[in-house]
Structure 1
Amino acid sequence: MIVDAGHSPAHAREIQSAMDAAGLPAARWLVYTHHHWDHVWGACAWPDVEIIGHIAGQEILQREAARPWSHRYLRDEVRTNPLLGPSFRARALAMETWDGFTILPPQCTFTDELVLPAGVRLRHVGGAHAPDSTIVLVPDSAVALLGDCYYPPPAHLRAPDDAPDLTMVAGLVSDEYDWYVDSHSEPWTLEQARSYGA
């Protein structure tokens, strides 16, 4: 199982090369923690996987897949809404080519919780960052993958007083999990997670 697809097909291929070098088997499942581009745009480069995500993300990604993505489209959208600039410039830098690119909604969806083979649990938590935010709980390795669930809304939607949702963090901490991993920070130990959510 792979959690999140990478921010582009090229990024996905880098992850696959690292998996090959480590002697890991090919992924059978691809789980989306949420629908944001930097988590899903690499999906079209993952062969033979079943994509799993929350039902709210499926609907959003179906709309995203219909947009005419290209460097020109990104520029035009930023002209219309300059607040999109940082995100859309990052997308342009991530995409070397648009050939063969497509956004893939999840094929398998759930609403509250889903248990995958080997006991991996997907739990919808929502939150201000994305309505489909999902955490991935891996009991046999005592790891909780948080995605971006407690982050504030994306920059173009953020109000001046928006901040990380530390109450959500506190509610996710459990003695069952020794490690807490979000998408853009170093992993935290259980003790660090407890203090972060305090």
Structure 2
Amino acid sequence: MGALRHLAGRVWIHPHDPDPARVQGCVAVIADDAGSVLVDAGNSPAVAQRVREAVVTAGLPLPRRLIYTHHHWDHVWGACAWPDVEIIGHRAGARILRAEAGRPWSEAYVRELAAGNERMIPSCTARIAAMSGLWDGFTVVAPHVEFDDVLTLPGGVEVRHVGGGHAEDSTVVVVPDSGVVLLGDCFYPPPLHLRQPDDGLDLALIHRLLADFPPSRFSWYADSHDEPKPSALLESILRAP
């Protein structure tokens, strides 16, 4: 998990952790001579540091911008390790993260959260493990730049709000010149502590994504907690019984 893996064009992936108990999704790096773009920050400053080392080892420009695909902890808690990077996120997620930044984050506080909601125990256990020895100086960082619908960055990277049941601020990042769409967790069911018995993958959103970003133009669709999918594999989810 230390090295970047080239996906396509100028998109590189720092792979997700295949152990779901660790709750660590992939972090994408979009190379740009004017300063690369990170997509998500990882679940801790330790992951962010590994990403930084991997970027240097790969010989890519250091990041200038960081995009949050949504506000969930495992996508944003590494951001404080990038103090000089401009952070971009959807307005709804920014509101939530400003409130989260004011909480007294510590191992003791996370244990209090778990004690108040048994369904949060897996997430809280993962947070404590990810942050081992890293609480001093830790802070949740809200976006510096907020957007509502679509934002196009210099270099042609498109940031688009798609919403969905997993998080109201779910955002996808489109790299047209590389044929890649970075999906975050957008089509996943809600987090466990909010999930209802009938909740599943958001198939309607997958249909919409394939219509908006057709396989004729995009070869790779990368969600956070699985291997990147070629178009045929994403389409196969819709055909599954």
TM-score, with structure 1 as normaliser? 0.98
* C-alpha contact 1:4 1:33 (8 A) present in aligned 2: yes
1:5 is the counterpart of 2:28: no
1:123 is the counterpart of 2:160: yes
- Within 5 A, what are the aligned runs for 1:20-169? 20-96=56-132, 97-169=134-206
The equivalent residue for 1:190 is 231
Q: Identity of paired residues, percent?
A: 57
* C-alpha contact 1:167 1:197 (8 A) present in aligned 2: no
- Deviation, 1:195, is 2.3
Whole-Å Cα distance in 2 between the matches of residues 121 and 80 of structure 1? 39
Which one has a larger percent helix, Structure 1 or Structure 2? 1
1:172 is the counterpart of 2:187: no
Secondary structure of the structure 2 residue equivalent to 1:105: coil
The AA in structure 2 aligned to 1:176 is R
Whole-Å Cα distance in 1 between the matches of residues 83 and 104 of structure 2? 23
Moved over 3 A (4+): none
Q: Tell me the alpha carbon deviations over residues 74-114 of structure 1, each in whole angstroms, 9 at most, x when there is no partner.
A: 11121111111011110000002211110000000100000
The AA in structure 2 aligned to 1:64 is E
* C-alpha contact 1:7 1:37 (8 A) present in aligned 2: yes
Secondary structure of the structure 1 residue equivalent to 2:155: helix
- Backbone CA RMSD of aligned residues: 0.9
Whole-Å Cα distance in 2 between the matches of residues 167 and 114 of structure 1? 23
- Deviation, 1:194, is 2.1
The equivalent residue for 2:31 is none
Secondary structure of the structure 2 residue equivalent to 1:150: coil
TM-score, with structure 2 as normaliser? 0.80
Secondary structure of the structure 2 residue equivalent to 1:118: coil
Q: How many residues are treated as equivalent by the alignment?
A: 198
